[in-house]
Structure 1
């Protein structure tokens, strides 16, 4: 076995760029590799030696990061997808020239793609849609909306079927004929328990013969790769990596053991930066390489007996085996053995009839995979999206108070330590020697490399956001990357629960980390002074602070200066109605309070203002035009916040007021 680094790379201004996707083809007995990077470039390389490759072509067709590239099995076509939502298709000549055919715009970022022969391309999107493209007719044949979450991977199984994979769901589509026309339809689906934390890596599914390897599984409280048959029936699990296994790849060949048993070989790359190699006739890996890469592997493929891997650090490595090494299970070192599940034990008994070492340490629980008709998380109704105007609380809140900013002002080259409460456990974060290390009970859990002496880092008890040369979003519990690197110049970052704020000198973007959608993008007002900070407060109010202490807050596409002490205090204090102003129930004062509370998205106090307005109506036993206009405005606000119970309570009180029935009827029509 030989492990070597190649000279394949993507560089911008002498900075190595992450390679998000890699694939290969053979033309006229020449071996070519294609790589796609965060810089938006596709590079074509030809092999000279195992580690030496020559760049033969650079392709620029996308305005964003390349998320996926694939050759068709025949090598006739090549396709690329990116976070600009474009699918680009090329015809590959025998001389490996890439003739551009066309672009097809998709509804959102393309996360995965695969070919079905030379006839169709299947794409998976960030918005959960699956598209089937007819290559010859240049048109979309199908747009499936069966998934409720982002597509993680699509994979062609054979000439007539393909798989789609999202969080908690795997669907099998089959080809049929109607009126001599081919079409695809959903044939079978399965729901299962998945690792909660997923990221944008390719090759979460690998297919070889009758085997389907599925990464990102979580069985018996362990990270696993599940092996299924082509009907999605569970066969067994590969277990042992400390962190999720995101990238899996079967060798294209079928091998013969010393006992004349046919078997396949699969490689599993984990977020713990280790890589393991398994055969389908042995429940134990025949090789485990720890700390194989500096950063996790993003994509990989087999070519004969060599595995080619691309990782986040922009390095492409090759693991090359001799035939003898793959044809026998030669590694028996206990230090390299991974823990087994019950399914692995049964498999080992079936093939080898050997005793299992320390069987009492193996859990006897079964893998959690259920059929479509069983209740799972995927069957739950979708949570209503928060509108872009509102920067308010999530339905599921994280403890935002644990948020800490580490930036140029308080984070230098010295050692920095911090304790974080995560799921009732104490995590210790330590920064030293350009690395952030996370410990649990003084045991190193993972480490993240920092590319800048003065990084910007924010975190809470779910996420850690690092900005050095790129914005990197990690799950703090295991250091797994949530999403491919974001290439953006940032002057300020902030984190509040599931909301990530990215600001440069002119623009602010707020990203929902649950679905990676930008739900607010706005310009920063020009001002004579420079910006000192951009941040959320506890009520999700967006603030811009200038060096002369001027603070602006953002509300309904307008920036409002906080130069009024009453307004400033009201934003910092939830209980303005509880102070001495409580006795001031004039309409002008109530309208002033209403304007303050909609700025702070405080629906409870907006309702309180509404009740006081109804009280005014009750005192005069009438509802005049001015009060009606203000109440309509207030009630429409409560309806927009889905606070219908408050609206019904207001209408119930209004029903006791003379001449209010016409007004109540109009509000009821709005509710309908």
Structure 2
């Protein structure tokens, strides 16, 4: 594993606000305050010490304001980009004399204010967007029209996520709530069931158990309020739909004497309350992203909380650090810190799990390159050579296979955690840092919420 900040001029040294890998061609798309979308070809480092390189390919110029979010469709044929002022564009890939070109296909107009996040449905027929106008909109991508408006939030919608199995849509807002919507299709019309998402869960507080038996449990907020200095709270579903990972969390211990930054993991079996928390980050966690490839179990660690027939790998980022986890182990498998001088804004995985990229408001991007099979051996569907992906998994398969183990008691020793040195972690853990950046004093360790 090797990685670092690529010292090139990404967006005229202006903040880079989002990035995403094309699902087939290995291109990296970036977007930022310069109003442009830029496409880059990422090549691996030839020598052991050489970092991956990014070669500029072309720019997509149409937006008239800062581009906050971009996401390729699952097929790779389309690209959605959202910007300030409510601009939302769908681009389409075309063949051209020089290989390919992207052209504006649809301009989606309804949001009244900045679009902060976008996510495609797994079939690419719809997309959901979140905006500063406090609403989520489900769009019909083929028609370029509004399909449904979800207007339950009372403040900015800073993150949206579409369940890869198509049953749920989730949103996260600075009103301190995560909302989960379930699809209850309307009556069939000419054999077609119309999507219809209705609110199923509004997750905002949890009970805080106190040591004193005489006092009843109090309610504690699960998420940061609107003073969190970030416009992004990018949540994500696991590629198999087994669980939802929600950033921007806060956790109070039983005595309520200390508040920890965290991300919460919600099991698909019960989306009404978090099942696991990732505490200990010195800064708020603002973005989560899953590796699209599932991996075979290694069988080397039985301490994991997730009882899955394969390993799922995911990354979470605070303002200044990146943590990589897998579902078979408890501590992170890699930690990167001190890579940027301003807040991290987005995370992207390449479709083959070879690269992990993150963007920052300091105008630069970091690219991490993994060696062959370093993350593990890709999990294949039984009897085939096809790599596991969401389209190979049914809802019943996930429900039957997915389980988060709940021990009777599991405590976090914060004092001991502060004393732990990153240098004493296992060899699979890696930290990248700039010379003037202090080491993080806390390790993030998943904790089951009883």
TM-score norm. by structure 1 comes to 0.47
CA-CA distance at 1:315 after TM superposition: 1.2
The equivalent position to 1:200 in structure 2, one of 213, 223, 231, is 231
2:19 paired with 1:22: yes
Matched residue, 2:84 = 83
Q: Contact conserved, 2:68 with 2:82, CA < 8 A, in 1?
A: yes
Q: Contact conserved, 2:245 with 2:264, CA < 8 A, in 1?
A: yes
2:326 paired with 1:253: no
State the Cα RMSD in Å. Answer: 3.1
CA-CA distance at 1:144 after TM superposition: 1.9
Matched residue, 2:181 = 173
The equivalent position to 1:97 in structure 2, one of 101, 106, 116, is 101
Question: CA separation in 1, counterparts of 2:202 and 2:90?
Answer: 31
- Do the aligned partners of residues 281 and 349 (structure 1) sit closer, same or farther apart at CA in structure 2, a change above 3 Å counting? farther
Q: Contact conserved, 1:85 with 1:107, CA < 8 A, in 2?
A: yes
- Do the aligned partners of residues 11 and 68 (structure 1) sit closer, same or farther apart at CA in structure 2, a change above 3 Å counting? closer
Question: CA separation in 1, counterparts of 2:415 and 2:39?
Answer: 52
* SS class of match (1:88): strand
- Do the aligned partners of residues 325 and 137 (structure 1) sit closer, same or farther apart at CA in structure 2, a change above 3 Å counting? closer
CA-CA distance at 1:38 after TM superposition: 0.3
Residues 440-451 of structure 1: matches in 2 within 5 Å?
Answer: none
Residues 93-492 of structure 1: matches in 2 within 5 Å?
Answer: 93=94, 95-105=99-109, 106-116=111-121, 117-160=123-166, 161-167=168-174, 168-175=176-183, 176-180=185-189, 181-192=193-204, 193-196=222-225, 197-198=227-228, 199-201=230-232, 203-209=234-240, 210-220=242-252, 221-230=259-268, 231-232=270-271, 233-259=273-299, 262-271=310-319, 273-303=320-350, 304-323=353-372, 325-327=374-376
* SS class of match (1:128): coil
- Do the aligned partners of residues 170 and 349 (structure 1) sit closer, same or farther apart at CA in structure 2, a change above 3 Å counting? closer
- Do the aligned partners of residues 20 and 202 (structure 1) sit closer, same or farther apart at CA in structure 2, a change above 3 Å counting? farther
Q: Contact conserved, 1:202 with 1:299, CA < 8 A, in 2?
A: no
* SS class of match (1:182): coil
- Do the aligned partners of residues 289 and 7 (structure 1) sit closer, same or farther apart at CA in structure 2, a change above 3 Å counting? closer
Question: CA separation in 1, counterparts of 2:114 and 2:142?
Answer: 23
CA-CA distance at 1:242 after TM superposition: 0.7
* SS class of match (1:234): coil
Q: How many residues end up aligned between the 2 structures?
A: 342
- Do the aligned partners of residues 357 and 127 (structure 1) sit closer, same or farther apart at CA in structure 2, a change above 3 Å counting? closer
* SS class of match (2:85): coil
* SS class of match (1:262): coil
Matched residue, 2:401 = none
User: 1 or 2 for the larger relative contact order (CA 8 Å, sep ≥6)?
Assistant: 2
| Structure that is richer in helix per residue | 1
* Deviation per residue, 1:392-430 (Å, 9 max, x gap): xxxxxxxxxxxxxxxxxxxxxxxxxxxxxxxxxxxxxxx
Q: Contact conserved, 2:131 with 2:157, CA < 8 A, in 1?
A: yes
Gaps of 5+ in 2: 46-51, 205-221, 253-258, 301-308, 378-403, 418-435, 441-450
Matched residue, 1:53 = 54
TM-score norm. by structure 2 comes to 0.69
Q: Contact conserved, 1:32 with 1:47, CA < 8 A, in 2?
A: yes
Question: CA separation in 2, counterparts of 1:48 and 1:286?
Answer: 24
- Do the aligned partners of residues 234 and 49 (structure 1) sit closer, same or farther apart at CA in structure 2, a change above 3 Å counting? same
* Deviation per residue, 1:89-129 (Å, 9 max, x gap): 11123644212112122221111111112211211110211
Gaps of 5+ in 1: 329-345, 363-434, 438-442, 446-672
Q: Contact conserved, 1:282 with 1:348, CA < 8 A, in 2?
A: no
- Do the aligned partners of residues 173 and 96 (structure 1) sit closer, same or farther apart at CA in structure 2, a change above 3 Å counting? farther
- Structure 1 segments of 4+ aligned residues over 4 angstroms from their partners: 346-350, 355-362
Q: Contact conserved, 2:10 with 2:364, CA < 8 A, in 1?
A: no
- Do the aligned partners of residues 140 and 324 (structure 1) sit closer, same or farther apart at CA in structure 2, a change above 3 Å counting? closer
